Amino acid sequence: MNARTEQYPHKTGEYVSYKNNGICKIVDIVTKEFAGMDPKTYYEMQAVFDQGNVLYIPVDADDLVQEMRHVLSAEEIGDVIAKSEQYQDLWIDDGKARAVQYEEILEEGDRSRILWVIKTLSIHRKQAEEKKKKLYAADAKILASAEKIIKEEFAFVLGIDREQVIPYIIDQLQDMGYAAG
């Protein structure tokens, strides 16, 4: 890393959670020219769980850089799990309004609210299955995105398999005295 890269908020070697791409490692800060455009400086990021996925995020694109969130610590994960129980199951009957609100929650990146979305949609998926129905496609898409965000970050931080994350969360909630949803 050269002296010029010291000015950027994220550093080479840092891990970040980036939108729906999951956990990424910043492998370099490089100046590149893409498709005949003027050269720009980018964060070069490698997805942790999809090694073939390399992202280039312009360091001066504030809206995109703000989407590069710090990776939680194990202690923060415990706090997120506990805080997620503050939210009530406020199901929105209107599917379009529900999709808009839940997409906003994913965009905001508050992991406790994302856990709330997972819990809410999982409960409604189970209820639909009992009636031999499925979740609406928009709900299923949001649930998959929310689960990816949470499973990848928690698995990475806790050093467990992604499929162990939901059982881990349920165990933590039970240890905290909350009933599993």
Q: Are 105 and 148 in contact (CB under 8 A)?
A: no
pTM for the complete prediction? 0.84
Domain edges within the chain: 3-69, 72-175
Q: Which fold has domain 72-175?
A: Methane Monooxygenase Hydroxylase; Chain G, domain 1 (1.20.58)
Predicted pLDDT of residue 11: 92
Predicted pLDDT of residue 60: 92
* Exposure class string for 92-122: b at 16+ Cβ within 10 A, else e: eeeeeebbeebeebbeeebbebbbbbbbbbb
pLDDT digits (tens, 9 = 90+) for 152-181: 999 999 999 999 999 999 899 888 887 655
Q: How confident is the model at residue 61 (pLDDT cuts 50, 70, 90)?
A: very high
pLDDT digits (tens, 9 = 90+) for 81-112: 999 988 876 788 999 999 999 999 998 889 99
If we measure between CA atoms, which residue out of 79, 57, 75 comes closest to residue 67?
57
- The residues that bridge with 23 in the sheet, in sequence order, are 17
Is the predicted pLDDT of residue 3 greater than 50, yes or no?
Answer: no
Predicted pLDDT of residue 2: 43
Q: Are 67 and 19 in contact (CB under 8 A)?
A: yes
- Mean local confidence (pLDDT), 139-147: 95
Q: Do you know the residue count of the chain?
A: 181
Q: How confident is the model at residue 44 (pLDDT cuts 50, 70, 90)?
A: very high
Dihedrals phi, psi of 83, to nearest 5 degrees: -65, -30
* Average pLDDT in the chain: 89
Q: Which fold has domain 3-69?
A: Thrombin, subunit H (2.40.10)
Predicted pLDDT of residue 100: 95
Is 23 exposed, middle or buried (CB count within 10 Å of its CB: 0-12, 13-18, 19+)?
A: buried
Token pair 């856990």 in the structure block, residue: 115
Predicted pLDDT of residue 89: 67
H or E, element range at 28:
strand 23-32
